[in-house]
Amino acid sequence: MPIGLSMWRRIGSALCVGFCLSLASLASAASPLGPARFAAVLMNPDTNEILFEEQGTAIRHPASITKVMTLYLVFDALDSGRLKLSDDIVISRHAAAQKPSRLGLAPGRSISVEDAIQVVAVKSANDIAVALAEKIGGTESNFARLMTLKARALGMRQTMFANASGLPDPAHFTSARDIAILSAALLRYHADRYHVFSEQSFAYGGQRMANHNHLLGNVVGLDGIKTGFTVDSGFTLTASAMRDGKRLIAVVLGAPTSFSRNRDIIAMLDAGFTALKLRASGMAGSLPAILQSNGFALNRTERPMPGMAIRPVEEGDSE
C-alpha cells in the first residue's frame, strides 16, 4: 500500500526528532557538565575590578588555557632555582602518549626547559606540557595537585586541575572569573616571562609552529595569552591587551567557533577600553550598551549544540 504524503511527513518528523535526540544525547555525554556553555569576563588587572561578566563563576572546562597554570608553576620553579632553562626534560611514555596537539617526540628523547616552554605556549603541545609536569612534580597527577593548590593560593575558588594539558577529565574544571584571576597573577608575578605568550611562531627541530592565537598581531595592543579547544569545552581564550597605558583581560569560554570566540574577545576589549576612556573624561558609559554596539550578544546561556560535538576532531588541533 503506497504511503501518502502526510504519512511521509509524520515519519520524517519522527525520524528527525529521534535523530536530534540522539545527537543531543551524544553531545551531553561528551562532558559531565553537558554541552559546552558560554561564559565571559572582562577584568581590569591593575585594580582586579570585574568590568563585565556573564556566567562568570559558573563551572566550565578550560581546555588548553590550563597550560597557563602549567607554565605558571614552571616559572615559579625557575624563579626559585629548582629548575633551569638549560635543564633537559626526558619524554616519558606517558607524555608521548598524549592526544594532539603535540610535538611528537618519542619516549626517551629530550628537550630543554627553555624550548619546552616555547612549544607549550605557542603550539600548545600536550606531550610537552605533561613532560614539564613530570619534571617538576614527579608525576602528572602530583603536579595537578600542585596546580590546584596554587589556584587556591591565587584566589581561584571554582577551579580543580586533574592534568597539565587541559584534555577532558570530569575532575578538571574552572570558571571564566578564575581564569581572569590566573591571567592577572601571571602578569603581576611573572611579567618578565609573559612574553612567551606573545610569540606568533616558534621554530623547533626544523619546523616552524604557528601560534593558535590568531589575534596576535591583528588586534591593537593584544599581546597574549592562550587559546583552547576540546569538544567538552568549546572554543576558549584568555586574552590581554594594553592601550594608552591601560591593560585589560578578556576571557571567553564555551564559544561554538573560534570565529565567534575571537569576535567576542575583540568586542569586550574594545568596549572595555572605551569605558575606561569615558571614565577618565568624567563621563559614565554603560558597558553593556557599549558591548551591544560592538556586536556582542548579551544574556547568553547555553549555546546551540555545535557540530564539533559529533565530529571526530582531535583535541587541541583546532584551537
Using CA atoms, how far residue 51 sits from 58, 251, 253, 260, 266, in Å, is 17, 12, 17, 21, 15
Q: Which helix (H) or strand (E) holds 19?
A: helix 5-29
Angle between helices 126-137 and 66-80 (to 10 degrees): 40
Q: Which three cell numbers stand for residue 29?
A: 555525554
Contact predicate 53/268, CB 8 Å: no
Closest CA to 212 of 272, 295, 126, 111: 126
Closest CA to 269 of 301, 233, 237, 231: 237
The catalytically annotated residue of 124, 175, 233, 258 is: 124
Instruction: Check if 64 is active-site.
Output: yes
Within 30-124, where are the H helices?
66-80, 93-96, 113-123
DSSP structure class, residue 124: -
Contact predicate 224/197, CB 8 Å: yes
Contacts of 225 (CB under 8 A, 6+ apart): 68, 183, 186, 197, 213, 238, 239, 240, 249
Strand-strand pairing, 39-44 and 246-255:
antiparallel
Residues belonging to the active site: 64, 67, 124
